[in-house]
Amino acid sequence: MQRNISREFARRGITNLTKYILINTHNCKACWKCFEQCPRRVFGKESRFFGLHKHVIVVSSENCIGCGKCIKECPHKCIYKNFLAAQL
């Protein structure tokens, strides 16, 4: 089921997600607090446009256990609980 959900999100252009969270990379200010708090190493760092735009990305969605530490820690509110997965 997770594979189908991920495929549907990718079709819609949403790729930074796990079963439990979604990331709005446009609002990410690269403070890396979520990266540091994640106990399962779900996140990675990405730099685009010669370092002008940096943000977190999901690199291991299968490792996410839904603990919510990243959501609580993000000061820019760009990580959300994934309510959309239940609707697909």
Average of per-residue pLDDT across 21-48: 91
> What's the domain range around 51?
2-87
pLDDT one-digit tens code per residue, 54-78? 889 999 999 999 999 999 999 999 9
Question: In the predicted model, is pLDDT for residue 1 greater than 80?
Answer: no
Residues 6+ apart with CB under 8 A from 22: 14, 16, 79, 80, 81, 82, 84
Residues 6+ apart with CB under 8 A from 62: 2, 18
Please give the residue that has the higher pLDDT: either 41 or 25: 41
Structural domains of the chain, count = 1
Specify the pLDDT at position 13: 52
What are the pLDDT digits (tens) for 43-57?
A: 999 887 776 778 899
CATH classification of the domain holding 78: 3.30.70.20
Tell me the C-alpha distance between 22 and 63, whole Å.
Answer: 14
- CB distance 12 to 4 below 8 Å: no
DSSP-based helix, strand, coil % in the chain, nearest 5: 30, 20, 50
